[in-house]
A and B are shown apart, each in its own frame.
Chain A
Amino acid sequence: MRRSLPSIIAVLVLFLGWEAMCRGFGIRPFILPMPSLILAETLLSWPSVLNHTWATLVTVLLGFAASVAVSLPLAMLIAASPTISAAIYPILVITQSIPKVALAPILIVALGANELPRVIVTFLVAFFPLVVGTVAGLLATPPELIELGRACRAGRVQELLRIRLPFAVPFVFGGLKVAAALAVVGAVVAEFVGADAGLGYLIQTSMAFFRTPLAFGAVVILAIMGILLFQAVTLAERILFPWSSGAATPPASS
């Protein structure tokens, strides 16, 4: 608690300055609403905001789960063989070069206006850093550790499961943290293009009616959602792999 105090004060100061600036300069609310108005407007339409939040959260979590389910096996394949790596990596980079905003309408036409295209867009935005991080972790195992495994006559599967994979855990969690934050971005991108619920949809419809405070409210909720997901991943790491957390980068040699 003591350590989070400075950040709490910083955020409070930021919002107070914002509020003072809006009041002092008389900025009109549809251009830049002041925090108190954002809060009031958001609370006013609370049940509907909650529904939208829930819709976005579902998309985010499904997309995040899909990223994990695809990325980890994919990373193991890439790390296992240079040939597979050479074959798959260019495709991965292509998926990353395509703007997801451009892809979203195509997917919605192809798959229909339901949850699936949104989850796919979320997945496409979130999975890449997870794959890259996991591959880096699997390949970062010190060669001596691999030799130790080979000296103990460990097969490739044993080497992967008992040496490479545990060694990659800090890298995987690095990727998971980025993916968690990106999943929120991906879900909102998808909702901008085709959705009838969700915070991205709420932002668009609010702005169409110049209800800027409500749109700001949705943005704040998205930020909180991102922070909470990030913290959840951090907490999971601390509980499941206490040896991994604490070190920002895993030890290089020991």
Chain B
Amino acid sequence: MIRLDRVTKSFGSVEALQDVSLEVAPGEFVAIVGASGCGKSTLLRLVAGLVRPSAGHVALDGRPVTEPRAETAMVFQAATLLPWADVLRNVTFPLRLMRRAGGDTEARARALLATAGLAGFEHRLPRELSGGMQQRVAICRALLQDPRVLLMDEPFGALDALTREEMSLELLRIWQGREMAVVFVTHSIPEAVLLADRVVVMSPRPGRIAEIIPVELPRPRGFEQEGLPAFQAAARRIRALIYGGRAAHAA
């Protein structure tokens, strides 16, 4: 449903992305990993319609993406909640902004918050919540838009390691119940392997796709799969692509 066709994006004289082609199927979970400055975030923003490609085409369901679309929703590294609005109003904010809020919006928001373990926090302010809870609110905010594509830019990057693992599993649970493609940018190789159907490994300067690695692990996924040969093989391959020859010695 998402199709990037030979996309190049330059900012001034800096080429952030060079000749990137990628397809994401409906309902597919794709992770993007790579060193800093490899254009992961730019790729995500291209799909979101927040930036336009310098060359090539980005299409969603065959239609070119020239501006933000209602089918896509984004989650950022920081929760970026509105500090003046309570949890419920934060979650409904995009729909209210797009004038798509209906009579059932609030009820749906409450139900969504409840599935994310945030029942009872509807009227708290963001600053009263922990970092993990804030990010849950941000994910609920994206999900309430019923996106067909969820774009996540290092969504768990600012969380501590334990919260991070917990949130990964929760994200998988939520994704499994929906017909929703996820494009998930991360710095964490195990996280990418655990979550994704395919891992896109990018190399920096200029940002290019080095390789796309399919993860052949059965779902539902869990951390107990970390020891499996398929998991290890995928992680090793990704690591080798990112670090080149150095990884073998370090490991």
A interface with B by C-beta (< 8 Å)? 142, 144-145, 147-154, 158, 162-163, 166-167, 169, 241, 243-244, 247, 250-251, 253-254
Contact = CB atoms under 8 A, between A and B. Distances in A.
B50 A147 contact: yes
B84 A144 contact: no
Given A148-B94, A152-B94, A162-B97, A251 B73 contact: no
Contacts of A244: 83-84
Nearest to B67: A153
Interface in B10-51: 45, 48-50
B68 interface: yes
A254 B50 contact: no
A150 B68 contact: yes
Contacts of A144: 76-78, 80
A247 to B, nearest CB: 7
Contact of B48 (A151, A243, A247): A151
Interface string B116-143: 0000000001110001001000000000
Contacts of A142: 78, 80
B97 A154 contact: yes
A113 B125 CA distance: 51
B68 A254 contact: no
Interface of B: 45, 48-50, 67-68, 70, 72-74, 76-84, 93-94, 97-98, 125-127, 131, 134
Contacts of A149: 97
Given A150-B50, A162-B97, A250 B83 contact: yes
A73 B97 CA distance: 23
A241 B81 CA distance: 16
Nearest to B128: A243
Given A147-B50, A151-B50, A254 B81 contact: yes
Contacts of A251: 83, 127
Given A142-B78, A148-B94, A253-B78, A153 B84 contact: no
A241 B80 contact: no
A150 to B, nearest CB: 6
Q: 3 nearest interchain CB pairs?
A: A144-B80, A144-B76, A152-B97
Contacts of A152: 68, 93-94, 97-98
26 contacts: A144-B77, A145-B80, A147-B45, A150-B50, A150-B68, A151-B48, A151-B49, A151-B50, A151-B72, A151-B74, A152-B68, A152-B93, A152-B98, A153-B70, A162-B97, A163-B82, A166-B82, A167-B82, A167-B83, A241-B84, A243-B125, A253-B78, A253-B80, A254-B78, A254-B83, A254-B131
Contact of B82 (A145, A154, A158, A247): A145
A84 to B, nearest CB: 24
B84 A254 contact: no
Nearest to B95: A152
A254 B79 contact: yes
Given A243-B84, A254-B79, A254-B81, A148 B134 contact: no
Contacts of A145: 80, 82
A127 to B, nearest CB: 25
A142 B80 CA distance: 8
Given A150-B68, A151-B50, A151-B73, A247 B97 contact: no
Nearest to A159: B97
A148 B138 CA distance: 11
A151 B149 CA distance: 13
B94 A254 contact: no
B34 to A, nearest CB: 20
A149 B76 CA distance: 13
A148 B83 contact: no
Contacts of A154: 97
A247 B125 CA distance: 13
Nearest to A153: B68
A244 B126 CA distance: 12
Given A153-B68, A243-B125, A148 B84 contact: no
Nearest to B72: A151
- Candidate in A149, A153, A167, A244 with the most chain B CB atoms within 10 angstroms: A153
A169 B84 contact: yes
B94 to A, nearest CB: 4
Contacts of A167: 82-84
Nearest to A148: B80
Nearest to B70: A153
